[in-house]
Structure 1
Amino acid sequence: MGEPTEENGQLPGVEIGNVSQAFQATCHAAASAFLSEYTGENKRCAEVVAELIKHHGSKVPFDTLDLQGNQPVLKGNQINDEIVPALLAVLKQHNVTSHLNLSYNTVTDKGAACIAEFLRQNTRMEGISLFLNEITAEGAGALYGALKAGSSAVEHIDLGYNRIGGDGGLRLAQMLQRTPSVTSVNVENTYLDMNGLQQVLIALQTNRTTEDINLGRPVLSSQGVGSLPHHLGKMLKSNVVLKELRLPWWSLCCSDMFTICQGLLVNQTLVHLDLVGNKIAPDGAEYLATYLSLNGALKALNLESNRIQDGGTLALARALTTGRSGLEWLNIKFNSIQPEGLKAMARAIRASCALRYVYVWGNEFDHDTCQDYTYLLSGAVPRVSVEGGLDISTYIVDGVCSVAHVECKEFKPLFKRKRFRV
């Protein structure tokens, strides 16, 4: 065998066959130890978890241990606080994973406190997902406290869709100011309020480790985002490590985009900006276009479900054909774009040296526009040759050209980062 790589998870200097056999034996031992350790009443769940640990032995060594509660085998028997201590005791004794996925379960603050103590003592655990559990600010505070203690090796933490609230946001900000290891944080739809978000953005100004953060779906006041765009712009000017910033459903409008783009013009590290579901109209898209034409750092821009219309699309198309823009992935689905704007984007795709993926479904196509995109897909010299380069396909019925939707994958980061399968 050749040299083991980080991609396949092999241990240095050990052949994959030997690793697999030894790892499988370790997982079987861990499953038996778990059944012995667990003394609670939820026997059915315990048996399923033990089988999942055994099955983990057939995967690439030290890959994510998937115990997410939306699996058919755990339907109606999600992991709860009663299961967690026994599971953690076994994971502490048996080195079977470096990433633990407990998404879609019913873990509460009590279970989160046990996990926090486990993370303080375990230097092998690199990622933990508690997406869509029943954790509040108290449990989030315990987890964040464990991460900022300094002994933890956790790089990725996902608390999305837990009700951690504004107090949880304040504790997240404290962690971001002190933790030396965390590179990826997801707190989407966790009821973060304006004050919590403001403190998180202030903490990110001086943070030097976090490369990816999802702050989507916050709880905003009736007056909108207030001073948050100002803090966003200030953070983008001073932060030198952040690569992915996700701000879906923030209700950002055109004036907010002007403020944010002032920070983006200075930033040289951000490669992925997610602005799904905001209120960005043509003027806001023009501010983004100016930024793209002057700064080539951004590689992916998600503007799905905004209001950029033809005016914004024309501005973006002009920016993408300049030599400065380095954008490779653009999503403008569901933006009320008419044929004029779609044709301009088709011309931009043909002319751009960098652009490889453009998603345009959910806008207004006429016959001529469909023909323009047919040429991109199957012309004499197809411009879109990569798989999934467009999220549409074209077809002709009775001489009329129409489009159909094609499922495409999300943007893949240009830097290595563990992603939980949730």
Structure 2
Amino acid sequence: MFNDIQANGAQVLASSLQGNSTLLSLRLSGNKIGRGGGLELASMLQENCALQELEVADCDLDTSSIIALIIMLKKNKALCSVDISRPLLFSHQEEWAVHCSKMLAVNSSLMELHLGRMGMTDTGIEQLTEGLGRNNSLRYLDLCSNRVTRDGAFHLAMMLKQNRALEILDLSSNQIGDGGAGYLSKAITCPRSTLKELSVCRNNITSEGLLLLAQAVKSSSTLTHMYIWGNHLEDPVCQAFKELISSGRLHPEQTDVSPYEVDGHVFLAEVFQSLRKPVYNIDCNVQRNGNKRKDFTE
């Protein structure tokens, strides 16, 4: 990663991996391989059936190379973790989201997908959730630093009521506000929800929405991790999260806030903890049989 590898270097790597059956993880993030390099990797992944993890974040991929990689995931049955965050997308049509939705509807191997800094709007989220509603394998979805608002959170909440696989959702650095927090709170407490970890840091949520999320944590039978720093942490919110933590419902190591008192008033301090990245790890000491995949860590 971050080694000044460009399109020609990506072509060499793609060629060497065409028939490779041993390499499990390829992390190229930060190398500006651009459109040409992205297309070469997509072509290689049509043949390679061993690679399980691919990271090409911040690689200056364009719309065509992103779409090529997504379409490849319709057929590739080996990849379990993919990061295509922070590409260079100049179109506002979000064509890639349509292709991603169609891919997720049929893909049965992908367990972790990072789509941070994609410029995704509520329209893109709506398209994406159509496929997610039919997906049974994805367990970690990263949507951080996009342009998701209340309406996008609504579509995600509707999806969470249908999807029986997703366990980790990263919505940090968006703009879902109180309305979006309310939609997610209802989805979290839905009997069908399997969500275990949620990050809504830096989403312009006030006491109204944060108190709904606190109540959802208390009521949920599955949610164990909640990250809220960067929102409006007023007195009622500080008190609610203090009670969650002191009661043992929210473990101190599974949130990013810690309560303290000054002159009888409760405040929350930031704790530098966040969603585990990545959570999907390869055990290279285990002999692989056929298409044996990595385990999702607890």
Q: Could you say which TM-score interval applies, normalised by the shorter chain?
A: over 0.9
Aligned partner of residue 37 in structure 2, secondary structure: helix
> Of residues 191, 195, 209 in structure 2, which corresponds to 1:327?
195
Aligned partner of residue 402 in structure 1, secondary structure: strand
How far does residue 258 in structure 1 lie from its aligned partner after superposition?
0.7
The residue that corresponds to 2:86 in the other structure is 217
Q: Distance in 1 between matches of 2:93 and 2:197?
A: 27
- 1:404 pairs with 2:269: yes
- 1:149 pairs with 2:19: yes
The residue that corresponds to 1:238 in the other structure is 106
**Structure 1 runs (4+) greater than 6 angstroms displaced:** none
The residue that corresponds to 2:41 in the other structure is 172
Assess, with a 3 A threshold, how the Cα gap between structure 1 residues 414 and 273 changes in structure 2: closer, same or farther: same
Contact 1:254 1:280 in 2 (8 A): yes
Structure number with higher helix proportion: 1
How far does residue 417 in structure 1 lie from its aligned partner after superposition?
2.2
The residue that corresponds to 1:247 in the other structure is 115
The residue that corresponds to 1:125 in the other structure is none
The CA deviation string for residues 46-77 of structure 1, in whole angstroms up to 9 with x for no partner, is xxxxxxxxxxxxxxxxxxxxxxxxxxxxxxxx
How far does residue 413 in structure 1 lie from its aligned partner after superposition?
6.3
The residue that corresponds to 1:339 in the other structure is 207
The residue that corresponds to 2:288 in the other structure is none
Contact 2:81 2:280 in 1 (8 A): no
The CA deviation string for residues 121-150 of structure 1, in whole angstroms up to 9 with x for no partner, is xxxxxxxxxx00011111111111111123
The residue that corresponds to 1:140 in the other structure is 10
Q: Distance in 2 between matches of 1:139 and 1:333?
A: 37
How far does residue 338 in structure 1 lie from its aligned partner after superposition?
0.5
The residue that corresponds to 1:361 in the other structure is 229
The residue that corresponds to 1:313 in the other structure is 181
The residue that corresponds to 1:259 in the other structure is 127
The residue that corresponds to 1:285 in the other structure is 153
> Of residues 250, 266, 270 in structure 2, which corresponds to 1:384?
250
The residue that corresponds to 1:51 in the other structure is none
Q: Distance in 2 between matches of 1:319 and 1:258?
A: 16
Amino acid at match of 1:397: V
Matches within 5 A, 1:69-88: none
Amino acid at match of 1:399: G
Matches within 5 A, 1:87-126: none
- 1:181 pairs with 2:50: yes
Contact 1:156 1:418 in 2 (8 A): no
Q: Distance in 2 between matches of 1:291 and 1:245?
A: 16
Q: Distance in 2 between matches of 1:290 and 1:226?
A: 21
Aligned partner of residue 396 in structure 1, secondary structure: strand
Amino acid at match of 2:169: L
The CA deviation string for residues 91-112 of structure 1, in whole angstroms up to 9 with x for no partner, is xxxxxxxxxxxxxxxxxxxxxx
The residue that corresponds to 2:27 in the other structure is 158
The CA deviation string for residues 139-196 of structure 1, in whole angstroms up to 9 with x for no partner, is 111111111123x410100111001000011011111211010000000000000111
Structure 2: stretches of 5+ with no match in the other structure: 285-298
Q: Distance in 2 between matches of 1:225 and 1:211?
A: 27
How far does residue 396 in structure 1 lie from its aligned partner after superposition?
1.5
User: Aligned residues, how many?
Assistant: 284
Aligned partner of residue 190 in structure 1, secondary structure: coil
Contact 2:150 2:177 in 1 (8 A): yes
> Of residues 70, 75, 78 in structure 2, which corresponds to 1:206?
75
Q: Which range is displaced more, 240-249 or 402-411? A: 402-411
Assess, with a 3 A threshold, how the Cα gap between structure 1 residues 384 and 217 changes in structure 2: closer, same or farther: same
Contact 1:300 1:411 in 2 (8 A): no
The residue that corresponds to 1:10 in the other structure is none
Amino acid at match of 2:113: L
The residue that corresponds to 1:393 in the other structure is 258
The residue that corresponds to 2:144 in the other structure is 276
Structure 1: stretches of 5+ with no match in the other structure: 1-130
Q: Distance in 2 between matches of 1:417 and 1:403?
A: 36
TM-score by length of 2: 0.92
The CA deviation string for residues 195-246 of structure 1, in whole angstroms up to 9 with x for no partner, is 111111111111110000000000011x335311110101101111000000
Q: Which of 1 and 2 has greater Rg?
A: 1
